[in-house]
Amino acid sequence: MALGEFALIARYFSAVGAARADVRVGVGDDAAVLQCPPDAQLVAAIDTLVEGVHFPAGSAPQSIGHRALAVNLSDLAAMGARPAWALLALTLPRAEERWLEDFARGFDALARRHDLALVGGDTTRGPLCVSVQVLGFAPQGRILLRGGARLGDALYVTGHPGDAACGLGLEQGTLAGVAAEDAQYLRARFLYPEPRVEWGTWLIGRASACIDVSDGLLGDAAKLAAASACGVQLDVERLPLSGALRRACGAEQALRFALSGGDDYELLFTVPQPRVAHFEQEAAAGAIACSRIGTLCAGGPAQLRRAGNVIEFSHSGYDHFAL
């Protein structure tokens, strides 16, 4: 028997994520009632995933549930905010129990790891589309912004950019002949990105500016630089390409994935020169896994250097409305 809308919500979405004392009214009434801490600033973000645009048609529902939340947590991480609550607007072609169960499981597992409660949403019928809004907190006046960098600041990226774009290629069957272990790692980097929430909160007071890499490293670096009224120089030999990525597609294609691939959900941030030595000591001691890849400079927007020489690169990143 087909599941009705209200039974569906009650069964799959009434107890998703962590139980939080600051949720006065959660799923079930006309709206959620949430208690904000008195000394924090509320930070809000929303992102939509459309089937066939943000994930291939027929993707595993557990991955869709994970990613729909992860891409939003990544936006909070980029601000240095700690997540608290989420709302989920789900449009489905049909109410398939197995699909809903797996989708909710993917969302729930990530939500619990970040102590986040699902407090409401909307469920409608139509082409598969998942919209998640997240709300979180950051200490008053200390939020990380894109526009805080200054000339000479050092530019860092967390993790290994490019893996996710290669993983998507594997999912779509446009790449083949990759060793099983590498393929599994790269696919997981697309299907289950890890939002850098802990690192983002740690960067408060250390980074001068921050953005998350969702549309390609080069384009997102240019956005951070432009918001900071600077340019940026990237040294391509400093890009932290994973071994799996290099083995899967060779050095040049790996570079292309890392610079313009998208879907990384790593943090790209700047540290003022006087703080660099201390920052790198803390990073080396295990506070954050990141690599220095460039410097904020005059002019703009983004310049690539190889062995000290400027090189050309045309793919700047993903733009839904680019012609």
Closer residue to ligand ADP in complex, CB, 88/157 = 88
Tell whether residue 28 is a contact of ligand ADP (CB under 6 A). yes
154: exposed, middle or buried (C-beta count within 10 Å: 0-12, 13-18, 19+)? Answer: buried
The window from 27-35, 207-215, 263-271, 309-317 that contacts ligand ADP (CB under 6 A) reads 27-35
- Site for ligand ADP (CB under 6 A): which residue of 68, 71, 81, 90? 90
Tell whether residue 30 is a contact of ligand ADP (CB under 6 A). yes
Pairing between β-strand 266-271 and β-strand 40-50 as defined by DSSP bridges: unpaired
The window from 26-34, 49-57, 164-172, 183-191 that contacts Mg ion (CB under 5 A) reads 26-34
**CB of 149: closest distance to Mg ion in angstroms?**
44
**Rounded CA gap, 45 and 86, in Å?**
10
**CB of 101: closest distance to ligand ADP in angstroms?**
14
Tell whether residue 31 is a contact of Mg ion (CB under 5 A). no
Contacts of 266 (CB under 8 A, 6+ apart): 157, 158, 159, 160, 161, 196, 212, 213, 217
Sole residue written with tokens 């400079």: 297
**CB of 121: closest distance to ligand ADP in angstroms?**
3
Contacts of 90 (CB under 8 A, 6+ apart): 121, 122, 123, 124, 129, 130, 131
Sole residue written with tokens 């003022």: 272
Polymer length of the chain:
323
Are 153 and 224 spatial neighbours (Cβ–Cβ below 8 Å)?
Answer: no
| 123 contact choice in Mg ion, ligand ADP, none (CB below 5 to 8 Å, kind-dependent) | ligand ADP
Tell whether residue 27 is a contact of ligand ADP (CB under 6 A). yes
**CB of 265: closest distance to ligand ADP in angstroms?**
22
Q: Which residue lies nearest Mg ion, judged by its C-beta?
A: 30
**Rounded CA gap, 107 and 112, in Å?**
9
Stretch 102-121 residues interacting with ligand ADP (CB under 6 A): 118, 120-121
Tell whether residue 93 is a contact of ligand ADP (CB under 6 A). no
Closer residue to ligand ADP in complex, CB, 29/198 = 29
- Site for ligand ADP (CB under 6 A): which residue of 73, 76, 88, 259? 88
Structure tokens that stand for 26 in this block: 């959660």
- Site for Mg ion (CB under 5 A): which residue of 1, 30, 274, 309? 30
5-24 footprint of ligand ADP as x/- string (CB under 6 A): ----x---x-----------
Sole residue written with tokens 């390409």: 241
Contacts of 65 (CB under 8 A, 6+ apart): 102, 103, 104, 105, 106, 107, 108, 110, 130
Report which of 132, 138, 170, 135 is spatially closest to residue 50, judged by C-alpha positions.
132
| 88 contact choice in ligand ADP, Mg ion, none (CB below 5 to 8 Å, kind-dependent) | ligand ADP
Closer residue to ligand ADP in complex, CB, 118/155 = 118
**Rounded CA gap, 160 and 30, in Å?**
43
Are 121 and 87 spatial neighbours (Cβ–Cβ below 8 Å)?
Answer: yes
| 168 contact choice in Mg ion, ligand ADP, none (CB below 5 to 8 Å, kind-dependent) | none
Tell whether residue 122 is a contact of ligand ADP (CB under 6 A). yes
Per CB under 6 A, residues contacting ligand ADP are: 9, 13, 27-30, 88, 90, 118, 120-123
Instruction: Give the interface with Mg ion as residue ranges (CB under 5 A).
Output: 30
